[in-house]
Structure 1
Amino acid sequence: MMDEARYNQLAVGVFKRILAAADAIDPDILEAESTGDMVTLTARSREKCIVNTQRAVRQIWVAGRGQGIHFTYDTATSTWKDDKGRGLELLAFVADVVHDISGVDFIYPG
Structure 2
Amino acid sequence: MTDSEYLELAEATLDAVEQAVDASGADIECERSGNVLTLEFETGTKIIVNLQAAMQEIWVAAKAGGFHYRYRDGKWLDTRDESELFATLSTLSSGQAGESVELAAP
Matched-pair contact (CA < 8 Å) for 1:32–1:42: yes
TM-score of the two chains, using structure 1 as the length reference? 0.85
Pairs within 5 Å for 1:44-63? 44-63=42-61
In the TM superposition, 1:81-92 aligns within 5 A as 81-84=77-80, 86-92=81-87
Among the aligned pairs, what percent are the same residue? Answer: 29
RMSD: 1.7
Q: Which runs of 5+ in 2 are unaligned?
A: none
Deviating runs (4+, > 4 A) in structure 1? none
What's the CA shift for 1:71? 0.6
Q: Name the residue aligned to 1:100.
A: 95
- Per the alignment, in what secondary structure is the counterpart of residue 53 of structure 1? strand
Is 1:71–2:69 an aligned residue pair? yes
SS in 2 for 1:8: helix
In the alignment, which residue of structure 2 is the partner of 1:3? 2
Show the counterpart of 2:39.
41
Conserved? CA contact 2:24–2:103, under 8 Å: no
SS at match of 1:15: helix
- State the AA in 2 paired with 1:45: T
Supply the distance in 1 between the matched residues of 2:103 and 2:64 (Cα, whole angstroms).
22
Give the aligned length.
105
After superposition, the C-alpha distances for 1:9-62 in whole angstroms (9 at most, x for unaligned) are 1101211111101223557x2111011011000110011111000000100000
